[in-house]
Amino acid sequence: MGMNYIDTAPAYGISEERIGAAVSHRRSEFVLSSKIGETFEDGQSHYEFSRDAAHRSVERSLKRLRADSLDILFIHSDGSDIHILEETDTVEGLHEMKELGLAKEIGLSGKTTEGMFKSLDWADSIMVEYHINDESMSEVIDEAERRGISVMVKKGLSSGHLNASSAIRFCLEKSGVKSVVIGSLKAEHMRTNLETALKVRSDSV
């Protein structure tokens, strides 16, 4: 269908393995992002924020994805954004992996406006929750745009509680939003969502 951004994470079950099996032979066609900090095992999320944990996580992710590098690497925050950024050496680990060529861009997938604003001092890209029922990240998006930092929106449909067409339009009409991550369960839903996104983009030109 022409979509070229795929977002995943160790916290999303066997998502990385599935993506690796499906598209590793077409790696150059996609912008691929994954995350560090959270894993999901035995029905529970486990969090570990440190430089060493970040390196281990990326090594596992690249193996599962059958890739040599990621286009974007996000910190997968548990909500304690400021603690992660100020009290751990996770960001240092991200910078090291960028220098090693394991990630082209780095950033934060966070939950607090304070943490997201702080991440703008070093991030290349950020991921925020933003939809019609929660515009708390609006000023973060505006500031990121001013600094030339890419913004990806997560939970743009409020975890499925909003009408997809109007929710996608709302997100993409926000200046500064580069992409909206949507997990469609059916191909026809994905096609309809893409048509909405393309219509919004064409209307804005």
Counting residues of the chain whose pLDDT is more than 90, the rounded percentage is 91
Locate all alpha helices (DSSP H) within 14-163, ordered by sequence: 15-23, 51-65, 81-87, 90-99, 113-119, 138-147
Identify the band that residue 203 occupies on the pLDDT scale cut at 50, 70 and 90: confident
Instruction: Count other Cβ atoms within 10 Å, centred on residue 163.
Output: 11
Sequence-distant (6+) residues with CB within 8 A of 122 are 91, 95, 106
DSSP one-letter code for 26? G
Most confident segment among 77-81, 155-159, 183-187, 201-205: 77-81
Tens digit of each residue's pLDDT (9 = 90 or more) over 39-63: 998 889 999 999 999 999 999 999 9
Q: Could you tell me if 126 and 145 are in contact, meaning their C-beta atoms sit under 8 angstroms apart?
A: no
Q: How far apart are CA 37 and CA 164, in angstroms?
A: 29
Instruction: Supply the range of the domain harboring residue 60.
Output: 5-204
What's residue 140's pLDDT? 98
Q: What is the pTM of this model?
A: 0.95
Angle made by CA atoms 49, 51, 53, in degrees to the nearest 5 = 60
Mean pLDDT of the chain: 96
Helix and strand tally (H, E) in the chain? 8, 9
The answer, yes or no, to whether residue 205 has pLDDT greater than 70, is no
Q: Could you tell me if 62 and 32 are in contact, meaning their C-beta atoms sit under 8 angstroms apart?
A: no
Tens digit of each residue's pLDDT (9 = 90 or more) over 1-46: 889 999 999 999 999 999 999 999 999 999 999 999 999 988 899 9
The answer, yes or no, to whether residue 204 has pLDDT greater than 80, is no
Q: 116: domain CATH number? A: 3.20.20.100
Q: Say if strands 38-41 and 44-47 run parallel, antiparallel, or are unpaired.
A: antiparallel
Q: How many domains does the chain have?
A: 1
Q: What value does the mean pLDDT take over residues 80-87?
A: 98
Tens digit of each residue's pLDDT (9 = 90 or more) over 152-190: 999 999 988 999 999 999 999 999 999 999 988 899 999
Q: How far apart are CA 36 and CA 56, in angstroms?
A: 9
